[in-house]
Structure 1
Amino acid sequence: MRKKRVLLLSEGFGSGHTQAAYALASGLRELSPAIKTRVIELGKFLNPVVGPWITSAYRKTVSKQPKLVGMMYRTQYNKSLNRFTQLALHRIFYTQTSQVISQLKPDLIVCTHPLPNAVVSRLKRLGLDVPLYTLITDYDAHGTWTSPEVNKYLVSTALVKKKLMSHGVPNSRIEVTGIPVHPNFWTTYDKTELQSQFELSPLPTVLIMGGGWGLLSRNSLFEYMTRWRDSIQMIFCVGTNVKARESMLSNEKFCHPNIKVLGFTKEISKLMDVSDLLITKPGGMTCTEGMSKGIPMLFYEPIPGQEDENCEYFIQNGFGEMFQKDTVEHWFSLLQEPYAAGQTRRDLLTKRNQYYDPMQCPRAVLEMMP
């Protein structure tokens, strides 16, 4: 009997969209080995030269002109992709995307970014007969996600469902599933073993993420944190940003046995388990991963728009605070009280169980499979 096939389409505008696609794919296979999945970043896959260039230009704009990004997000909030953009996407991607779908013959297509969502929606208007699910990877619902051709929206919270309905999406086409995280985040690793693996001391540990966008070096609070380096261990993750890593390593304040500056790593799940506090950009995926681990979070420099909404959700529900001088002092003092820090994490895990089930999204997709 032929295995069911799920095609997951994403884009590389920040890693969260594609991580959500891989997380859902892994969750589906974990729950049902009879399912075959394929994840594709559409622009990079179909245009290996132009795709990465567009992604790079977007990241530079976000880093250097965040207010402009926020203004565009707000002014277009209630609008779907305009006809010109849809036509451009159609001309660039139509033939190749159609060929990919014909070759892979999926039983279901899941899009985790608005651009492939628009491309597949147009294909459906032209006769494609494959169910389209749209997984929204933030705690907000921008109008660009919406299309009449989407059969089902998978959203993080009831509030996002309400926002989608305000865009005219019927209640029956929206399922609150939470944002999926990779199965690596479903389990807890032994902290002592992790300290040995990462060559860490048995000290309170802070994990700092988001350096791939070149933002860590701009914020003076990160240098301020180093005054605790004799009593608190810090792990900076700068991703593929080689310049940021070199810049930090050349700064004497970060040159200390209790400070590690890491490049790209696939061990974020383990690093969250070995750490006691997460300082991060409030991307929807990273925040959901942090919530799944029950690690307290501090959020810095949210991109105006969706990251503001992510921040608001996690702060209002008690999973994090803004990254400020007073919150740094509070948390760095708390981490040096082992019982208090441990109790805080236990409380967050209890709260997580009330708000989030990491298996809910893949389970929901399985139940809705055609």
Structure 2
Amino acid sequence: MSKILIFTSHGGGGHISASNAIIEHLKNEHEVSAVALFRTVLEPMDPVRFATLNKTDCEGLYNFFLRKKWTRLLNMLCLMGLWTLPLSRRKVIQLTTAYLKKEKPDLVISVIPILNGVLNTICRSLNIPFLVIPTDLDTSTFIHNIDAKESDKLFVGLAFNDPLIWKIADKATIFKKQCGIMGFPLRQSFFETKNIAQLKNEFNIPVSKPVIFMLMGAVGSEVIYRYVRELCTLEQSFHLIICLGRNEQLRNKINSIILPAHITVSTIGFTDKIADLMAISDFCITKAGSVSVCEALYMNKPLLLDCTAKSLMWEDLNIHFISNHKFGTAIRRFKDLKKQVSSYLVNPQLVQATAQRIANFKKDNFSHTIKTVVNKMLSH
């Protein structure tokens, strides 16, 4: 069996979600493992760990900002990372090269941003094939400074065959033949047919009400509480499924909200049942992150995107993508939430038409494409 190493990150939930999906799809044919590059290989370089005496690290700080929706700070952190990378490049190469020489993988896969230019250089020097699988539709931070040259040992997997996505890839210093459409890296459950009646019974979901699914990422944004407060003033009857992610502190706050009789709620913590929960929902309210957006798209669910705060710069494209294709709407002010949700609740034909547009949009099955691409790269 070939040995495959995935570089992932605990910053947000998207990178871990993607690396877990890749492992699930490849584990029967290859020896696959994931390593959090920043927390393990590059841990000696972490300034936050040093400054806080090991109480937290860069990824922990990132997740704290994410929960608080301090997106301007997050955008600044990303730009600082891009600007300061040349200063730390030599140390990154030294630590990562030593790690790869010790592990001796046959293929390296990266689902992390910013460092892929350096990782590509390292892999090329060690003659290791390098596969980049962006976890954002905006791939700019994933293909930043990649010096492709003429190599069949580099490949970048794009999610969709869409002009907005290709426009960014075309600006990079990589050859078009080194890019291809792979679909988005989701787990097998997103590609399976669902028994809706059985799932509603399993999760104790009313069969006679419209169902709204709300998820603000694996980290769990505190904006969920305000959204629930707003939704509970609606006159229409519905059932709300709330996914808290890893932010369990929200549960007591949400449970303290007094619900009107015509609105019912299910509150769920961090779960691997997202595909099932989306399947039994009519539409989704979620943040503009690529993983949440693509999960909904693969389940053919219309989207209401939370854009009430300054968006992360790598999520701006997602908002344009959903708007351009009429797959949903951006909620830019809290006072617009009730109007947008009501328009779906009183007009199920609108929901159905939007869902059909999404269903008609070509979405490659990642569980198939990842195997094809990996086997091809290993054969060279």
Instruction: Return closer, same or farther for 1:355/1:199 CA change in 2, 3 Å cut-off.
Output: closer
2:183 aligned residue (161, 174, 178): 178
Deviation of 1:176 after TM superposition, in Å, equals: 2.7
Instruction: Return closer, same or farther for 1:64/1:43 CA change in 2, 3 Å cut-off.
Output: same
SS of the residue corresponding to residue 261 of structure 1 reads strand
Amino acid at match of 1:24: I
Work out whether residues 205 and 276 of structure 1, in 8 Å CA contact, stay in contact via their aligned partners in 2. Answer: yes
Instruction: Show the counterpart of 1:232.
Output: 238
Instruction: Return closer, same or farther for 1:328/1:188 CA change in 2, 3 Å cut-off.
Output: farther
- Alpha-carbon separation, structure 1, partners of 2:166 and 2:5: 24
How big is each residue's C-alpha offset from its partner over 1:199-256, in whole Å with a ceiling of 9 and x where there is no partner? 1111111111016545344774431111237710001111111222222222335999
Instruction: Show the counterpart of 1:335.
Output: 345
- Matching of residues 1-370 of structure 1 within 5 Å: 3-28=1-26, 33-46=28-41, 53-62=57-66, 63=68, 65-71=70-76, 73=78, 82-90=85-93, 93-99=96-102, 101-102=103-104, 106-114=105-113, 117=116, 120-121=119-120, 123-124=122-123, 127-143=125-141, 145-146=143-144, 147-148=146-147, 151-157=154-160, 158=162, 159-202=164-207, 203-210=209-216, 213=219, 215-217=221-223, 220-228=226-234, 231-253=237-259, 258-301=264-307, 303-323=311-331, 325-326=335-336, 328-336=338-346, 341-349=351-359, 351-352=360-361, 354-359=362-367, 361-362=369-370, 363-370=372-379
Instruction: Return closer, same or farther for 1:247/1:94 CA change in 2, 3 Å cut-off.
Output: farther
Amino acid at match of 1:153: V
Amino acid at match of 1:197: E
- Alpha-carbon separation, structure 2, partners of 1:306 and 1:56: 19
Instruction: Return closer, same or farther for 1:91/1:60 CA change in 2, 3 Å cut-off.
Output: farther
Gaps of 5+ in 2: none
Tell me which moved more, 230-239 or 292-301: 230-239
Instruction: Return closer, same or farther for 1:255/1:90 CA change in 2, 3 Å cut-off.
Output: farther
Work out whether residues 13 and 218 of structure 2, in 8 Å CA contact, stay in contact via their aligned partners in 1. Answer: no
- Alpha-carbon separation, structure 2, partners of 1:88 and 1:201: 56
Deviation of 1:267 after TM superposition, in Å, equals: 0.6
SS of the residue corresponding to residue 20 of structure 1 reads helix
- Alpha-carbon separation, structure 1, partners of 2:270 and 2:244: 7
Instruction: Return closer, same or farther for 1:268/1:355 CA change in 2, 3 Å cut-off.
Output: closer
Deviation of 1:154 after TM superposition, in Å, equals: 1.4
Amino acid at match of 1:41: A
- Alpha-carbon separation, structure 1, partners of 2:77 and 2:367: 34
Amino acid at match of 1:131: P
TM-score by length of 1: 0.83
Amino acid at match of 1:190: N
TM-score by length of 2: 0.81
Deviation of 1:269 after TM superposition, in Å, equals: 0.5
Work out whether residues 208 and 280 of structure 1, in 8 Å CA contact, stay in contact via their aligned partners in 2. Answer: yes
How big is each residue's C-alpha offset from its partner over 1:147-170, in whole Å with a ceiling of 9 and x where there is no partner? 226712112245434323323222
Deviation of 1:338 after TM superposition, in Å, equals: 5.1
- Alpha-carbon separation, structure 1, partners of 2:271 and 2:77: 32
Work out whether residues 278 and 295 of structure 1, in 8 Å CA contact, stay in contact via their aligned partners in 2. Answer: yes
Work out whether residues 276 and 341 of structure 1, in 8 Å CA contact, stay in contact via their aligned partners in 2. Answer: yes
Instruction: Return closer, same or farther for 1:212/1:135 CA change in 2, 3 Å cut-off.
Output: closer
How big is each residue's C-alpha offset from its partner over 1:299-328, in whole Å with a ceiling of 9 and x where there is no partner? 113633011111111221222211254464
Work out whether residues 134 and 158 of structure 2, in 8 Å CA contact, stay in contact via their aligned partners in 1. Answer: yes
Amino acid at match of 1:151: L
Deviation of 1:261 after TM superposition, in Å, equals: 1.9
- Alpha-carbon separation, structure 2, partners of 1:216 and 1:274: 24
Instruction: Return closer, same or farther for 1:175/1:52 CA change in 2, 3 Å cut-off.
Output: farther
Instruction: Return closer, same or farther for 1:337/1:170 CA change in 2, 3 Å cut-off.
Output: closer
